């Protein structure tokens, strides 16, 4: 039984826009895997958007592999694994599952850390578990800090940064705050991390959550002084934002990620007055009426909504064509940069 509902329209979209654009082998730097039994808390207590939780109750490594097989026929996809990041998920169980799956399938993985974890414990778990570094998330900032006021160091403390710096680990960072990348506190701290901890490899997830043009603000001009920070365009469909990040930092510091299982949903994104809205086929995710980021589309127009990940890659293609990038640069973005970062051998 197929995991996804791939229609003729989806197949044609892939063949016409994406198949020749993508390398035969590419690396996906951003994947969440977990099993339903790891959810031991209240999912509604999450401090993040509600809509991603509607896509999948769990995502086994087998489901992830099947997702890539169905969505990218004729291609080989190498996913980087880590846990789901909802506060309701038991991170001990989930990190152990990620470790076992990475070992079984020969895949790179990151360790989901929490700010209160002793560095000695993190160091032991990462090194003994074969993880390549840390996945950190705003969800785990202390509960007394209002969601809109969370700073990077509230969920990625300096002692953990120093540990990653000492070991040369990867640190994948999802920034917080309503203004996203445009918030000066975020971009000042991003530059500070690179300058203070040059040994680690910082990955800024979702292009700093700059889903709307307005989310960029003055950040790129300030961050042009960075030398090694890498940007992943996971779950971002804004071709203009991609183009600007590529203009400032080049294809050597730009990488692909999917955010599976979330971006296996069917959706397209529009922006209204700086606010992103995901348009989805009516009824495809249940009741979304309470989420301002979601809008249902009915009738024939809904049939033209393909997989969100296809929209993401098509946006990257649009930005690449605008900049005149060729096969060499595309291979860097989808394979070579991540192969270097995650130590993937051909």
- Alpha-carbon distance of 39 to 1, in angstroms, equals 26
**25 in Cβ contact with 335 (< 8 Å):** yes
The whole-angstrom separation of Cα 267 and Cα 306 is 6
Rg (CA), the chain: 19
Q: What is the pLDDT of residue 342?
A: 98
- Residue 235: give the domain boundaries: 8-264+308-341
Q: What is the dihedral of CA 137, 111, 167, 246, to 10 degrees?
A: -50
What does the pLDDT look like over 218-230, one tens digit per residue? Answer: 999 999 999 999 9
163: its two tokens: 């540990």
The answer to whether residue 212 is domain-embedded is yes
Q: Measuring CA to CA, how many Å separate 216 from each of 83, 133, 254, 334?
A: 28, 27, 16, 23
Q: Is 201 helix (H, G, I), strand (E, B) or coil?
A: strand
**Contact partners, residue 45, CB within 8 Å, separation at least 6:** 87, 88
Instruction: To the nearest 10°, report the CA torsion of 140, 142, 143, 149.
Output: -90
74 in a structural domain: yes
* pTM exceeds cut of 0.95: yes
Asked, for residue 275, whether it belongs to a domain, the answer is no
Q: How many independent structural domains does the chain possess? A: 1
Give residue 66's pLDDT: 98
| Dist. CA 182–CA 223, nearest whole Å | 11
Q: Considering the domain boundaries, does residue 270 fall inside one?
A: no
In-domain check, residue 273: no
Question: Does a structural domain hold residue 185?
Answer: yes
In a domain, 286, yes or no: no
Task: Of 28, 60, 56, 61, give the one whose Cα is nearest residue 43.
Answer: 56
Which pairs from 277-284 meet CB under 8 Å and 24+ separation?
A: 278/51, 278/308, 279/305, 280/305, 281/305
Q: Give me the DSSP letters along 232-284.
A: E-TT---HHHHHHHHHHH-GGGEE----BTGGGSB-EEEEETTEEEEEEETTS
Query: Distance between CA 103 and CA 100 in Å, rounded?
Result: 5
Give the residue ranges of the chain where pLDDT is below 70.
Answer: 1
The CATH number of the domain holding residue 334 is 3.20.20.140
Is residue 118 in some structural domain?
yes
């Amino acid at each position: 039984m197929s995991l996804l509902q791939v229609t003729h329209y989806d197949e044609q979209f892939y063949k016409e826009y994406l198949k020749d654009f993508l390398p035969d082998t590419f690396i996906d730097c951003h994947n969440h895997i977990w099993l339903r039994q790891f959810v031991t808390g209240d999912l509604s207590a999450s401090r993040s958007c509600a809509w991603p939780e509607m896509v999948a109750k769990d995502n086994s490594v087998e489901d992830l592999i099947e997702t890539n097989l169905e969505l990218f026929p004729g291609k080989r996809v190498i996913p980087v694994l880590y846990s789901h990041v909802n506060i309701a998920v038991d991170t001990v169980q989930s990190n152990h599952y990620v470790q076992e799956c990475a070992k079984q399938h020969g895949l790179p993985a990151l360790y989901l850390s929490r700010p209160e974890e002793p560095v000695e414990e993190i160091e032991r778990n990462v090194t003994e578990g074969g993880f390549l570094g840390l996945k950190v998330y705003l969800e785990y900032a202390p509960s007394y800090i209002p969601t809109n006021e969370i700073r990077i160091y509230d969920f990625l403390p300096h002692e953990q940064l120093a540990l990653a710096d000492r070991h040369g680990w990867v640190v994948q960072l999802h920034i917080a705050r309503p203004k996203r990348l445009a918030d000066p506190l975020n971009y000042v701290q991003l530059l500070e991390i690179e300058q203070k901890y040059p040994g680690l490899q910082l990955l800024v997830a979702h292009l700093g959550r700059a889903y709307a043009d307005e989310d960029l603000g003055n950040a790129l001009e300030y961050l042009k002084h960075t030398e090694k920070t890498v940007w992943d365009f996971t779950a971002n469909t804004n071709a203009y934002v991609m183009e600007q990040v590529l203009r400032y930092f080049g294809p050597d510091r730009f990488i692909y990620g999917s955010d599976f299982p979330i971006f296996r949903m069917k959706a397209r994104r529009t922006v209204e007055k700086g606010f992103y809205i995901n348009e989805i086929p009516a009824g495809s995710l249940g009741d979304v009426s309470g989420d301002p980021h979601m809008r249902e589309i009915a009738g024939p127009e809904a049939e033209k909504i393909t997989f969100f990940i296809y929209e993401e890659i098509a946006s990257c293609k649009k930005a690449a064509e605008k900049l005149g990038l060729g096969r060499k640069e595309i291979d860097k973005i989808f394979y070579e940069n991540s192969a270097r970062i995650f130590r993937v051998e051909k």
